[in-house]
């Protein structure tokens, strides 16, 4: 049963995370969550801006990057439109992932109210997504960036639950989510008509605030 008066939760930086009911208040808290945030091993999350369009185009334009996402490869103009849309969303957090000072990808999330049958819950759910340049694949960058993102959500915002979805055949993404600490909660069969004209399955993952343990940045 959903809690009616959930109170506060301990943030790992000392200050309690305060529940937020009003959307406007939530949007202000999202806007104030800017970083930069250290993910360890030279990896840093910093707010993504429209000035990052050239960097983002270097990976968003590649077919191997688009393959298991819901967007086709994007040229510079399409990337600029995509950034504009996403940056205008007050419920979304979107970070550039830098490694050793160079942009190598993005990690993002969007907050929505948690479901309730007894009135507002004061707590929020956040989806997780990540996209990296193939030059850095296989080096643990998505895992570190994803962990740091979850830590920011649980530490700075009233996030009750992180969620993530990947295509069933996207073994690398499912592995990243498992390494971060997500549990697979569901499998949706033949749910998306994909690029190849066949129906693909989705895997649904989640990670609760009480399941989260602070990552080491070593
Ligand atoms: C998916 C993606 C984010 C992974 O990034 P990454 O930095 O390479 O991830 P990591 O190095 O942290 O971890 C990858 C893990 O997947 C494993 N892996 C790679 N390919 C795999 C496959 N086909 N099947 C199963 N596991 C696989 C790796 O071995 C590694 O696990 P390990 O550390 O236990 O060996 C990256 O490939 C990407 O940006 N792809 C394009 C965009 C995209 O698909 N985003 C996700 C949409 S759901």
217 domain-assigned: no
Angle 58-149-27 from CA coordinates, rounded to 5°:
95
Q: How far is the CA of 83 from the centre of ligand 1 (A)?
A: 24
Q: Residue 78 burial (CB < 10 Å; 0-12/13-18/19+)?
A: middle
What does the pLDDT read at residue 214?
Answer: 72
CA 218, distance to chain mean position in Å, is 22
What does the pLDDT read at residue 216?
Answer: 61
Shortest-distance Cα residue to atom 9 of ligand 1: 142
Shortest-distance Cα residue to atom 34 of ligand 1: 175
114 domain-assigned: yes
Helix ranges (H only) for 157-206 are 171-180
Angle 93-139-12 from CA coordinates, rounded to 5°:
45
171 domain-assigned: yes
Total-model pTM: 0.92
Q: What is the CATH number of the domain that holds 133?
A: 3.40.630.30
φ, ψ at 89 (rounded to 5°): -85, 110
Instruction: Identify the residues whose C-beta falls under 6 Å from ligand 1.
Output: 65, 68-69, 130-132, 136-143, 166, 170-173, 175-176
Question: How far is the C-alpha of 209 from the C-alpha of 161, rounded, in Å?
Answer: 6
Q: How far is the CA of 26 from the centre of ligand 1 (A)?
A: 32
1 domain-assigned: no
Q: Kind of pairing, strands 124-132 and 159-167?
A: parallel
Q: How far is the CA of 52 from the centre of ligand 1 (A)?
A: 23
Closest-lying ligand 1 atom to the alpha carbon of residue 165: 48
pLDDT string in tens for the chain (218-residue length): 333 334 444 444 444 566 776 888 899 999 999 989 999 999 999 999 999 999 999 999 999 999 999 899 999 999 999 999 999 999 999 999 999 999 999 999 999 999 888 877 788 999 999 999 999 999 999 999 999 999 999 999 999 999 999 999 999 999 999 999 999 999 999 999 998 899 999 999 999 999 998 766 66
Cα separation values, 153 from 90, 123, 133, 138, 217, Å: 15, 12, 24, 25, 16
Our count of domains for the chain comes to: 1
Tokens standing for residue 70: 């819901």
* Residues forming a β-bridge with 95: 47, 107
2 domain-assigned: no
Question: How far is the C-alpha of 33 from the C-alpha of 46, rounded, in Å?
Answer: 10
Question: How far is the C-alpha of 55 from the C-alpha of 74, rounded, in Å?
Answer: 12
The residue segments making up the domain with residue 142 are: 9-211
Shortest-distance Cα residue to atom 29 of ligand 1: 138
94 domain-assigned: yes
3 domain-assigned: no
168 domain-assigned: yes
Q: How far is the CA of 95 from the centre of ligand 1 (A)?
A: 19
């Amino acid at each position: 049963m959903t809690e009616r008066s959930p109170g506060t939760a301990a943030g790992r930086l000392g200050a309690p995370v305060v529940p937020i009911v009003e959307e406007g208040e939530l949007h202000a808290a999202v806007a104030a969550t800017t970083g930069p945030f250290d993910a360890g091993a030279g990896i840093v999350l910093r707010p993504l801006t429209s000035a990052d369009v050239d960097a983002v185009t270097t990976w968003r334009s590649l077919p191997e990057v688009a393959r298991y996402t819901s967007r086709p490869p994007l040229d510079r103009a399409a990337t600029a439109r995509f950034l504009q849309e996403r940056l205008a969303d007050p419920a979304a957090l979107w970070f550039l992932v830098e490694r050793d000072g160079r942009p190598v990808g993005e990690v993002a999330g969007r907050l929505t109210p948690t479901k309730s049958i007894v009135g507002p819950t004061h707590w929020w759910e956040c989806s997780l997504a990540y996209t990296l340049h193939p030059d850095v694949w296989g080096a643990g960058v998505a895992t570190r960036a994803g962990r740091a993102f979850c830590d920011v959500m649980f530490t700075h915002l009233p996030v009750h639950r992180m969620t993530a979805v990947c295509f069933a055949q996207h073994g690398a993404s499912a592995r990243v989510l498992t390494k971060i600490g997500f549990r697979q909660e569901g499998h949706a069969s033949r749910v998306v008509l994909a690029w190849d004209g066949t129906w693909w399955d989705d895997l649904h993952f989640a990670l609760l605030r009480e399941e989260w343990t602070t990552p080491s940045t070593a």
